[in-house]
A = this chain, B = another copy of it.
């Protein structure tokens, strides 16, 4: 290509055309006082005409703001494909960020070690002003690092003691309880749960709430199996639950991939859904209406979650030290995978 890159206009060019100094141009373009209305208009018009945009690097270097935020997703790549959460969440983030002229730097890594490395690097290079932290673990190695480096961040999950980082969260416990209440109201007495990664905090929260809810209805200690969210483990856990004696008449799952897996296992074992087994999925993606029977699921607005997350992060970056924000609790979208248990 050996080509001369197209030269992009600078404020110096605007200054020359307007016959003023670059200082004046800068003030005018940033809407600061010190420039007469007439000159300001002249400058803005010229800028508009030649299509000037501030050079991000120069602005960062001078103003010490990168005007972008980072999102490091720490998951094995193949798990990401079917997981509908992130794309919707990212769409939400974007929606808010683009209005603020802030870019989103995305990184996909395998594990927390790599995530920490990635965070350290892009912070050290000053590529980002802050970070979005998802998939929080109960004991999360990333948090000390964020604290050490004093990186502005927002936690996608419950607020935490021991850090002053704001969190954006939804009441997982209430949602888990709502699912149990509904199943009990239908007449179920043996309800089990297939949970996600035990290391994840919201897994713990949901499991605890689930246990409390079941106990609260006087139903004894429920069975809870832990998994890594994958299809394979969903299959395994469901088989285990359905193979024992006193098999549950209802199972709640921590995501919709595993709930779908359950559908297949039930079919395989000749167990009717919802006739003999009710299934509740943990996320409500399109997947839930793509299978037969359509899955009853805990439904919430992931994109809005992304919007709020971005907003809180930007507040934090701007030094407005926002509090944590609770978004709407998931509601149960009842479809065809739940019914009264067999008499």
Residues of A within 8 A of B (CB): 1-3, 5-6, 8, 51-61, 64, 66, 68, 77-78, 80-84, 86-88, 90-92, 94-95, 98, 103-109, 118, 121-122, 124-127, 149-150, 152, 231, 257, 260-261, 263-264, 267, 285-287, 289-292, 303, 316, 319, 321
Q: Do B90 and A106 touch across chains, with their CB atoms under 8 A apart? A: yes
A77 engages B81 (CB within 8 Å): no
From B83, B90, B149, B289, contact of A108 by CB (8 A) = B90
Which chain B positions have C-beta within 8 A of A1?
152, 316, 319, 321
A83 to B257, CA, bound (A): 14
B261 & A290 in contact (Cβ 8 Å cutoff): yes
Cross-chain contact A149 with B6 (CB below 8 angstroms): yes
Tell me, in angstroms, the Cα distance from A56 to B65 when the chains sit together: 11
Query: How near does chain B come to A298, taking the closest CB pair, in angstroms?
Result: 16
Selected contact of A124 from candidates B8, B60, B126, CB within 8 Å? B8
Q: Which residues of B contact A149 (CB under 8 A)?
A: 6
**A57 partner residues in chain B, CB cutoff 8 A:** 56-61, 66, 126
Q: How far is the CB of A127 from chain B (nearest CB, A)?
A: 5
Q: What chain B residues lie within 8 Å of A303 (beta carbons)?
A: 77
- On whether the beta carbons of A64 and B125 are closer than 8 Å, the reply is no
* Cβ B82 vs Cβ A121 within 8 A: no
Copies of this chain, whole number: 2
A-B contact pairs, 11 of them (CB 8 A): A55-B125, A57-B59, A77-B95, A87-B87, A90-B106, A94-B108, A103-B105, A106-B106, A261-B290, A264-B291, A291-B291
* Contact between chains at B231 and A289 (CB < 8 Å): yes
* Contact of A264 with B286 at beta-carbon distance under 8 Å, contacts A6-B150, A105-B103 already known: no
Question: Given the known A-B contacts A98-B107, A106-B90, A261-B290, are A64 and B5 also in contact in the complex, defined by CB atoms under 8 Å?
Answer: yes
Q: Which of A51, A261, A264 has the most CB of B within 10 A?
A: A264
- A291 to B261 alpha-carbon distance, docked (Å): 8
Closest to A122 in B: B103
- Shortest A318–chain B CB gap in Å is 9
Residue numbers in B under 8 Å from A78 (CB-CB) = 88
Is B104 a contact of A55 with CB atoms below 8 Å? Answer: no
Q: Which of B53, B121, B126, B289 contacts A125 (CB 8 A)?
A: B53
Contacts of A285 in B (CB 8 A): 81-82
Complex contacts, A316 vs chain B, CB 8 Å: 1
**A333 nearest CB across to chain B (Å):** 15
Give 5 nearest A-B pairs by CB, closest first: A53-B124, A57-B60, A77-B91, A81-B84, A80-B87
Q: In the assembly, what is the distance between CA of A117 and CA of B263, in Å? A: 44
- Tell me if B287 and A82 are in contact (CB < 8 A): yes
- Complex CA–CA separation, A106 to B78 (angstroms): 20
How distant is A259 from chain B, measured CB to nearest CB, in Å? 10
Partner of A264, one of B82, B152, B292: B292
Q: B287, A55: Cβ atoms under 8 Å?
A: no
Chain B residues with CB under 8 Å of A121's CB are 53
By the criterion CB–CB under 8 Å, are B90 and A81 in contact? no
What is the chain B residue whose CB lies nearest that of A84? B81
